[in-house]
A and B are shown apart, each in its own frame.
Chain A
Amino acid sequence: MSHPLLEKDLLSTCVHCGFCLEVCPTYRLTGDENNSPRGRLRLWREEAAGRLARDPETDFYTSECVGCLACEPVCPAGVAYGDILEQTRHEHVSAGRFHPKPELRLAAQAVRYPALFNAALAPARALRSLGFFPHPLIFPGRPHVTESTAAYARRLMMLHKPTGPRVALLTGCLMEAMFREINFATVRVLIDNNIQVVIPDEQGCCGAFHEHTGLDGVDELREQNRRAFLPLAVDAAVSNSAGCGLALKKTLAPDMPVRDVLEFLGEIGIKAREPRGGRVYVDLPCHLVHGQRSPGIPAAVLDATGYQWELAPCAKDCCGSGGIYNIQKPKNAREILAKKSAFLNEAEGDPIILATSNHVCMMQWNSAKSLVKRPFRVAHVIQLLDPNCRPSK
């Protein structure tokens, strides 16, 4: 027993029942068992045990995994697939068996220095706020170019002096640098519901980016966030991105509860907006329902948006975003999205809004605009609850 995964006995927990096959997007796409959770686990185990030589196909199938974690909740044996994948990815990147794209490597470095990253993306924010969206993954929105979410939250707290529960908000790296308007909306909704918002200054990227790519840096980022969050006297840490929320949960457990902001709002009860026209189709992020094992976005919260809403068909299935999957494996990601978004062509309602609760899923859905033959908008559910603004057109 020399391989670390064998020593921890993680790989031997799979009893090969096959229950994970049908939930796996890459198995459904290819019909190839090697491209399924059971197949990947078998390949890793055989190699770790010395029964299979290092093989480029093992590297390929490892790289194919979206990391959606749909295979975890259906597994009767409780295989910790996400942990095993994370370790294996990291090992493959370190050994040069997997090469994250250069832009992802660069971004992984950059997000370790939030101030720099925010400054570097100021021009992109400026372009977005002027209504210019140069890339299919960049969805429309009007972020503030200069004021940070932390400064904004302090300003609003002084103004409204909420007295309810106190939460620490994770502002994220890409969310803050590029899609800051969602953070602003989150602060507004929380404060409008009498919740006190604290934004720890020393917080860093949640590390999910590094987990997905297998690049170094996860441990340092987790440590940084433990230092930033744990000393705070708050009822919970909250996140407005399912993927970042999952990473923060792993970071702060068991010392501080981490909640998805919509779940948190669902529990304390939330002000409803006026009824509005249009139809909202809600897609559930994988890292919310599979990763965090949440039952979904609370119905009471969706009702409070004032929109008529329903879950998108197969709402719990992956949209192909997978954090960085749509950049690393654009062809697969697009095929997954094409199947998933086809319903919008026939969907009832006008206008239609596709709403979810993770910015990287929003990016992926935005790129479906070239697949779907009618216009639709992409929004974060928190934006639909925002007292100030309606989702951008």
Chain B
Amino acid sequence: MTPPINAVVAALHRAAPGSRVMMSPAQMAGYESDGLGYKSFRPDLVVIPSDADELAQVVRVLHDARVPICLRGAGTSLSGGPVAAQGGAIVHTSKLRAIREISLDGFWCEVESGVNLRQLDEALQPSGLCYPPDPSSGPVCTIGGNVASNAGGAHCFRYGVTSNYVLGLEVVLLDGSTHRFGGPAGGNGPWLEDWKRLMIGSEGTLGAFTRFWLRLTPRPEKVWTFRATYPDLQSTERAIHGLVRHPAFPVAIELMDPRAVALVETSSMAVGLPKGHFLIVTEIDGPAALVDLRVESVAEVLRSAGSADVLFSDKAEDRENLFKARKAMGGLLGQVSPDFLVQDAVIPKRALANLLQLIYDEADRAGVPAVTVMHAGDGNLHPNFLFDSRIPEEVKKVEGISKRLMQRVVEVGGALSGEHGIGNDKSAYMPMVFGPESMHLQLAIPQIFNPRHQFNPMKVFTERRFVA
């Protein structure tokens, strides 16, 4: 039997006296959603541990009291991850914000899980080092959330995603015990090596991360940004194909469909892109002498694919302008629509035409505006469906389209999520991708760390329901 909530609160106060415990209805309301704002689940408790030691005590008390435990970083997840889908406690890492060490000769840093990407970048700047993963939520999202959802970003095409940079992590398991997987040296050894890999992308279902050792790289000396538009999908695909095979190895290849371009062009952020065109933005970086040499050949790839308006620059201000339309997208969605649902499928590049057609057909039939952007290098497709969650029919329509889209993604051999995670938004689609045997194997892992699904229940797999 679960003890009464007041007894849990008292036990938390005793075990973690420096931490904040909240339970009034208004305080729960502020924690009921993540970046997928329209789906809300009110928790019963919110705890803000004062430090990693108290976080371990909090987990132990909640475990003993049989309360579901959901870790939360900045709550920017777009998949319904850091929410109390089955009630219980939200454990918020907002006080774990120390950058504990930056090792200049080792090229690594040690950070607590609540450190956010901008904070880390500012701390690294004087050293000339950088931490490459760059989700566009970087000004706020935490490393803890990034590791738990294996976040990516525009520049991860060449640099790789979060998992490529985690050397080690410290995690609090369900009984409150603290364990380290890897460390500054990466945890070399025949057996220990990739235990940490199991934790990365686990979406808060295996344990609570408290700190990380992250690999750093030198900041690129020089960056060139290119922008080109294309009148049709065929020429766009030719350009993408040319870029991914180019020896300059672009760091990012970003795509916007004509509907996304139209959204920008009818807003105050308009940059003068031609109507009905696709947009590609790409970048190369590296030592100045080397990248300067490659500029013309990259521009030629873009031109020969069929673009009549290739622009490029190495000046910070111009580069920002070239990227402006792509960067403005996220905000514009918020300005034109009360809610939007973004999907995160990864598709084989040859299936792009097939999927875009499905998105257009479905969206037009349902009268739901849809604009699509894509990390084209990785095949990570983000169609955004605009709707108003106060109108139940609109929610139903958008969820119906998402489901049919995911079915098609699976048919063409794609994956459900490239970077946002499964959360509770896409958990129902898991059986579409994985057969019963694969599901069984995947569910065996939480069985070891979290047998009753007390950590983040109802996420990733719908059958992960906590039974006290």
Does any Cβ of B come within 8 Å of A14's Cβ? yes
On whether the beta carbons of B20 and A32 are closer than 8 Å, the reply is yes
Residues of B within 8 A of A14 (CB): 37, 334
On whether the beta carbons of B331 and A18 are closer than 8 Å, the reply is no
Does any Cβ of B come within 8 Å of A13's Cβ? yes
Does any Cβ of A come within 8 Å of B340's Cβ? yes
User: Which residue of A has the minimal Cβ distance to B75?
Assistant: A18
Q: How close is A343's CB to chain B, nearest CB, in angstroms?
A: 15
The 6 tightest CB contacts between A and B, nearest first, are A76-B331, A77-B334, A16-B37, A31-B94, A34-B30, A39-B30
Residues of A within 8 A of B199 (CB): none
Does any Cβ of A come within 8 Å of B405's Cβ? no
Residues of B within 8 A of A74 (CB): 139
On whether the beta carbons of B25 and A32 are closer than 8 Å, the reply is no
A-B contact pairs, 29 of them (CB 8 A): A9-B338, A13-B338, A16-B35, A17-B35, A17-B330, A18-B74, A18-B137, A19-B137, A19-B139, A22-B74, A22-B140, A31-B94, A31-B95, A32-B22, A32-B30, A33-B92, A33-B94, A34-B30, A36-B30, A42-B32, A42-B33, A43-B29, A43-B30, A47-B26, A52-B29, A55-B24, A55-B25, A75-B334, A78-B334
User: Which residue of A has the minimal Cβ distance to B76?
Assistant: A18
On whether the beta carbons of A57 and B24 are closer than 8 Å, the reply is yes
On whether the beta carbons of B334 and A13 are closer than 8 Å, the reply is yes
On whether the beta carbons of B26 and A15 are closer than 8 Å, the reply is no
Does any Cβ of B come within 8 Å of A342's Cβ? no
Partner among A17, A33, A39 whose Cβ is within 8 Å of the Cβ of B137: A17
Does any Cβ of B come within 8 Å of A133's Cβ? no
Q: Are A19 and B140 also in contact (CB < 8 A) when A31-B92, A53-B25 are?
A: yes
Number of A-B contacts (CB under 8 A): 114
Residues of A within 8 A of B330 (CB): 17, 76
Question: CA A230 – CA B212 in complex, angstroms?
Answer: 60
Does any Cβ of B come within 8 Å of A12's Cβ? yes
Does any Cβ of B come within 8 Å of A21's Cβ? yes
Q: Are A33 and B34 also in contact (CB < 8 A) when A52-B25, A76-B331 are?
A: no
On whether the beta carbons of A15 and B334 are closer than 8 Å, the reply is yes
Residues of B within 8 A of A152 (CB): none
Q: Annotate A43-58 by CB proximity to B: 1 below 8 A, 0 otherwise.
A: 1001100011101111
On whether the beta carbons of B48 and A32 are closer than 8 Å, the reply is yes
Residues of A within 8 A of B332 (CB): 76
Interface residues of B in 91-125 (CB under 8 A from A): 92, 94-95, 114, 116, 118-119
Does any Cβ of B come within 8 Å of A132's Cβ? no
Partner among B25, B75, B95, B139 whose Cβ is within 8 Å of the Cβ of A33: B75
Partner among A13, A57, A75 whose Cβ is within 8 Å of the Cβ of B27: A57
On whether the beta carbons of A33 and B335 are closer than 8 Å, the reply is no
Does any Cβ of A come within 8 Å of B283's Cβ? no
Q: How close is A60's CB to chain B, nearest CB, in angstroms?
A: 8
Interface residues of B in 20-75 (CB under 8 A from A): 20, 22, 24-27, 29-37, 48, 74-75
Residues of A within 8 A of B95 (CB): 31
Question: CA A46 – CA B35 in complex, angstroms?
Answer: 17
User: Which residue of A has the minimal Cβ distance to B48?
Assistant: A31
Question: CA A74 – CA B36 in complex, angstroms?
Answer: 19
Does any Cβ of B come within 8 Å of A61's Cβ? yes
Interface residues of B (CB under 8 A from A): 20, 22, 24-27, 29-37, 48, 74-76, 92, 94-95, 114, 116, 118-119, 137, 139-141, 330-335, 338-340, 388, 390
On whether the beta carbons of B25 and A22 are closer than 8 Å, the reply is no
Question: CA A141 – CA B393 in complex, angstroms?
Answer: 64
Question: CA A47 – CA B332 in complex, angstroms?
Answer: 27
Question: CA A326 – CA B48 in complex, angstroms?
Answer: 26
On whether the beta carbons of A43 and B26 are closer than 8 Å, the reply is yes
On whether the beta carbons of B26 and A58 are closer than 8 Å, the reply is yes
Residues of B within 8 A of A76 (CB): 330-332, 334-335
Q: Are A22 and B139 also in contact (CB < 8 A) when A15-B339, A16-B35, A43-B29 are?
A: yes
On whether the beta carbons of A17 and B339 are closer than 8 Å, the reply is no
User: Which residue of A has the minimal Cβ distance to B31?
Assistant: A33
Residues of B within 8 A of A39 (CB): 30
Question: CA A31 – CA B49 in complex, angstroms?
Answer: 10
Q: How close is A10's CB to chain B, nearest CB, in angstroms?
A: 11
Residue in A9, A14, A32, A52 whose Cβ sees the most chain B Cβ within 10 Å: A32
Partner among B34, B118, B334, B338 whose Cβ is within 8 Å of the Cβ of A22: B118
Question: CA A55 – CA B388 in complex, angstroms?
Answer: 27
Question: CA A4 – CA B137 in complex, angstroms?
Answer: 32
Residues of B within 8 A of A61 (CB): 26, 30
Q: Annotate A319-331 by CB proximity to B: 1 below 8 A, 0 otherwise.
A: 0000000000000
A15-B338, A43-B26 known, 8 other contacts, Cβ within 8 Å: A15-B339, A16-B37, A18-B141, A46-B29, A47-B26, A76-B335, A77-B334, A78-B335
Q: How close is A387's CB to chain B, nearest CB, in angstroms?
A: 37
Residues of A within 8 A of B340 (CB): 15
On whether the beta carbons of B35 and A42 are closer than 8 Å, the reply is no
On whether the beta carbons of A33 and B116 are closer than 8 Å, the reply is no
Question: CA A51 – CA B29 in complex, angstroms?
Answer: 9
Residues of A within 8 A of B37 (CB): 14-16
Question: CA A387 – CA B34 in complex, angstroms?
Answer: 55
Q: How close is A40's CB to chain B, nearest CB, in angstroms?
A: 8
Residues of A within 8 A of B20 (CB): 31-32
User: Which residue of A has the minimal Cβ distance to B77?
Assistant: A18
Interface residues of A in 50-85 (CB under 8 A from B): 51-53, 55-58, 61, 74-78
Residues of B within 8 A of A51 (CB): 29
Q: Annotate A159-195 by CB proximity to B: 1 below 8 A, 0 otherwise.
A: 0000000000000000000000000000000000000
Partner among B29, B34, B92 whose Cβ is within 8 Å of the Cβ of A16: B34
User: Which residue of B has the minimal Cβ distance to A17?
Assistant: B35
On whether the beta carbons of B33 and A16 are closer than 8 Å, the reply is yes
Residues of A within 8 A of B24 (CB): 55-57
Q: How close is A353's CB to chain B, nearest CB, in angstroms?
A: 26
User: Which residue of A has the minimal Cβ distance to B340?
Assistant: A15
Residues of A within 8 A of B140 (CB): 18-19, 21-22
Residues of B within 8 A of A22 (CB): 74, 116, 118-119, 139-140
